[in-house]
Structure 1
Amino acid sequence: MKIIISGGTGFIGRALSSYWRQQGHEITIITRGKPKQDSSSHPNNEAHRQATPLAYLTWEQLQNPSSREMEVDAVVNLAGATLNQRWTGKAKNRILASRLQATDLTAKWVQSLNSKPQVVIQGSAVGIYGTSLTETFDEASQPKANDFLASVTRQWEAAANEGFQGIRLVKLRTGVVLGNTGGAYPLMRLPILLGAGGKIGAGNQWVPWIHINDIVALIDFCIMHPEVEGIINAVSPNPVTNDDFGRIVSRVHRRPYWFPLPAFMLRAMLGEMSALLLAGQRVMPQAALQYGFCFRLPELESAVADLKKRH
């Protein structure tokens, strides 16, 4: 297959492109500029030597009329500024604008293609549901929250709904993606590895998580199964509380778990962005399970042990 990834140089995008190239698919990354060196190339790794070449396409090249001739089977749109920055006014504008602009540019290019792709996988997030200690959310839940993350995600999905009309659209609402090379997990794990692990705030906030290999497999599943459409929660079927999360990571790494981080201290350090760690939601992947997707690492302990082995 010929697959385009917008946001392909990010944490999830790199894992996707690496997996698909080893499967023999032709992958093109939409980026601001081609990297000087392909970070996914490892000449001493037999799997990567056998992988298909990775191509790049700049946003400026998308405006070229010749790009309309491209043959594309699937598009994955994950582009957007990272949430892992202090949420100043400028940062909030950048987080929202980057997502809307990338979605708009990608959608206009897709609609201009002489031959449309079969499917678009659109990035989203479970933050759209808002936070709760008691509610359980699935794809049928109606988002009602008006906090920053919910607002950004709602506008992001709306832009995709409008831009990709007439094409099978999967909106992938991701939770905390666990991997060694990016995302929030390396920072979440660090205090534990340093022997200063403990619950964050009250510790009873939910962590909707998923292993990086499972989100890659889920995206692949969504592309390969034409019946999959609409909202898909990209989370493990076994969410845990923050306290349980820390205890499990500590147990796997054989580190002490004794040093709680008070909520007021985290708010002082991170400002509004502290909501990423202090608030959460219990989210279930009901749609993925109903479509028949099988999680490879559905339990946190086995997922953490797998990452420890690969670290």
Structure 2
Amino acid sequence: MRTALCGGTGFIGSALARTLSARGDEVWIITRSKPAAPAAGLLYATWEDWQSDPDLTGPLDAIVNLSGETIGRRWTPAAKSRILSSRTEAAARIADIAGRMRQPPAVLVGASAISLYGHAESSGGRYPPPCDESSPPLPQDFLSKTIVDWEAAADRIPIERIVKLRIGLALGKGGGSFPMLSLPTKLFAGGRLGSGRQGMPWIHIDDIVGLILFCLDTETISGPVNAVAPETVDNDAFGRTLAKVMHRPYWLHAPAWAIRAALGEMSALLLTGQFAVPCKALEHGYRFRYPRLSEALENLV
């Protein structure tokens, strides 16, 4: 395939670019920050800059859009504006490019996020019914409202088959949230965050890449797809599993008020969560490499 990859230098994008290249695809990486030396393993990659009006008017089989300002910095008004505009403007640029192509690509796979479903907590060890792709959006805070706007911008792209990949907590080595998430446990200071009852939808980086490839290649998949592992856990269960795998104690509770004082509005990333299941992926035959949390963490640790 000849695939345009928008946001190909981030944690997920880099892993996807290497995998696409390894299977022989021609990858056009469109980025705001082209590296001085392209990463190893990109045998069939061409680099384009967002600022120079990428020339993608030739034959193109697919577009993958992972563009967006990181949400891992303090949410000042300026940062919130960049988080939203970087996502909606990238979708608008893709819509413009696709609209000018003689033959638009057959499929667009665009990143979204599981936070769209709002907040959910467990109760007495019981989890509420998980959200699947038919569940309605429940925008309750800045992040979930941003995702609603992000998906609406994607829907305006003139491509017949659009897949909106609602990604959970991405777990991988050397990037993403896992190194910082596991650091307290590594330092013998693991424990629940806030109530510990907030849902913690997760997925291994290998399965994110696998799902993107699966969606590119499976012509019957379109619309929202939950990119989460089948096993649902809350924050407390996640932390206990991590401590067990790392052979560390699990004892230090971080109260919600302290997290809010340290992170402000961004504390929602740690104190709220969702329970979700990947119904559409499973129904179409995708087989998760890491369906259980303990297996995923053992691989990473």
Does residue 289 in structure 1 map to residue 282 in structure 2? Answer: yes
Q: Which runs of 5+ in 1 are unaligned?
A: 42-47
AA in 2 matched with 1:3: T
**In structure 1, what is the equivalent of residue 19 of structure 2?**
19
Corresponding residue for 2:7? 7
Task: Give yes or no for the alignment of 1:116 onto 2:104.
Answer: yes
Which residue does 2:32 correspond to in 1? 32
Q: Is the 8 A contact 2:98 2:159 kept in 1?
A: no
CA 257–159 in structure 1, closer or farther in 2 if over 3 Å, else same: same
The Cα shift of 1:166 comes to 4.1
Corresponding position of 1:143: 137
CA distance in 1, matches of 2:264, 2:9: 28
Q: Does 1:56 align with 2:50?
A: no
Using the TM superposition, give the Cα deviation of residue 89 of structure 1 relative to its aligned residue in structure 2, in angstroms.
1.0
Contact in 1 for aligned 2:190/2:249 (Cα 8 Å): yes
Query: Do 2:231 and 2:293's aligned partners in 1 also have CA atoms closer than 8 Å?
Result: yes
Displacement after TM superposition at 1:304 (Å): 0.5
- Structure 1, residues 4-55: CA drift from partner, whole Å, max 9, x if none? 11111111000100111111111111012431011x21xxxxxx3xx52321
- Contact conserved, 1:218 with 1:234, CA < 8 A, in 2? yes
Deviation, structure 1 residue 135: 4.5
Q: TM-score, normalised by structure 2?
A: 0.95
C-alpha contact 2:105 2:159 (8 A) present in aligned 1: no
SS where residue 289 of structure 1 aligns?
helix
Question: How many Å separate the matches in 1 of 2:69 and 2:171?
Answer: 19
In the alignment, structure 1 residue 198 sits paired with structure 2 residue 186: no
Q: Distance in 1 between matches of 2:209 and 2:45?
A: 17
2:94 paired with 1:94: no
| Structure-2 separation of matches of 1:199 and 1:13 | 30
**CA distance in 1: counterparts of 2:114 and 2:290, whole angstroms:** 19
Asked if the contact 1:197–1:246 (Cα under 8 Å) also holds between the matched residues in 2, the reply is yes
Does residue 252 (structure 1) correspond to residue 240 (structure 2)? The answer is: no
TM-score (norm 1): 0.92
Q: Tell me the number of residue pairs that the alignment of Structure 1 and Structure 2 aligns.
A: 295
Native 8 Å contact 1:68 1:114 kept in 2? no
* Partners of 2:140 and 2:93 in 1: CA distance: 26
Determine if the alignment matches structure 1 residue 154 to structure 2 residue 148: yes
Residue 237 of structure 1 aligns with which residue?
A: 230
Partner SS state of residue 172, structure 1:
strand
**In the alignment, is the contact (CA less than 8 A) between 2:98 and 2:158 conserved in 1?**
no
- How far 1:255 sits from its partner (Å)? 1.1
Post-superposition Cα deviations, 1:162-200, rounded to whole Å, max 9, x if no partner, equal: 1x2342100000010101122211111000001111111
Q: Which amino acid aligns with 1:11?
A: F
For the residue of structure 1 that corresponds to 2:224, the secondary structure is strand
C-alpha distance after superposition, 1:72-122 (max 9, x if no partner): 111001101011011111111110011111111122112211221110001
SS of 1:206's equivalent in the other structure is: coil
Q: Percent identity?
A: 44
Q: Report if aligned partners of 1:25, 1:52 keep a CA contact under 8 Å in 2.
A: no
Residues 68, 112 of structure 1: 8 Å contact kept: no
Kindly provide the amino acid, as one letter, of the partner of residue 115 in structure 1.
Q
The residue number in structure 1 matching 2:178 is 185
2-structure distance, mates of 1:69, 1:165: 14
SS where residue 207 of structure 1 aligns? coil
Residues 247 and 68 of structure 1: CA distance in aligned 2, closer, same or farther (over 3 Å) = closer
CA distance in 2, matches of 1:139, 1:34: 35
Give me the whole-angstrom Cα distance separating, in 2, the residues matched to 1:103 and 1:182: 25
Letter in 2 for 1:59: W
| Whole-Å separation in 2 of the counterparts to 1:116 and 1:264 | 50
Matched to 1:16, the amino acid is: L
CA RMSD in angstroms, aligned pairs only:
1.3
Q: In structure 2, how many angstroms separate the alpha carbons of the residues matched to 1:68 and 1:59?
A: 12
Contact map agreement 2:25 2:44 (CA 8 A) in 1: no
Contact 1:8/1:14 (8 A) holds in 2: yes
Identify unmatched segments of 5+ residues in structure 2.
122-127
SS in structure 2 opposite 1:21? helix
1:304 maps to amino acid:
L
Counterpart check, 1:71 vs 2:59: yes
Please give the alpha-carbon distance, in whole angstroms, between the structure 2 residues aligned to 1:193 and 1:60. 41
CA distance in 1, matches of 2:56, 2:244: 53
